[in-house]
Amino acid sequence: FVSRAWNDTFNGATIVHAAVVITGGTADSQIHPSDFFLTMALANGFKKHYPALAQGAPTYQKINPLGNMPTTAFEVDPHVDLGRLGNVIVPAHGNVNVIVSFLVLDPVADVNDNKNVTLSTGSH
């Protein structure tokens, strides 16, 4: 299930970040970014599925207030960014928390309607 979701704007596009809690089944399983899809209603009334990003969420440069050297800041904690991690094991009967990010290039009906994330099953 999606515990929370938020949006960022990056190069004119919307990036949706969804904090997902995955509960394991009877055996360990491996999940990948390609297992996740976001469904959003478009401004034209249609719906569209967006695949999760297969790379880390965008970063940006932040100026250090104590010096002039910029540092890299992460939109999503790299320790839970599924796109950056590539895959994780969900232990049998256990829970895993990850952040899954999606690039949305289309005009959508409501950018805050961003929690309709599905996990495909059985491919890994």
pLDDT tens column, 58-88: 888 888 777 777 888 888 999 999 999 999 9
pTM for the model stands at: 0.88
Average pLDDT over residues 98-105: 96
d(CA 99, CA 108): 21
Which residues, listed in sequence order, are joined to residue 33 by a DSSP beta bridge?
Answer: none
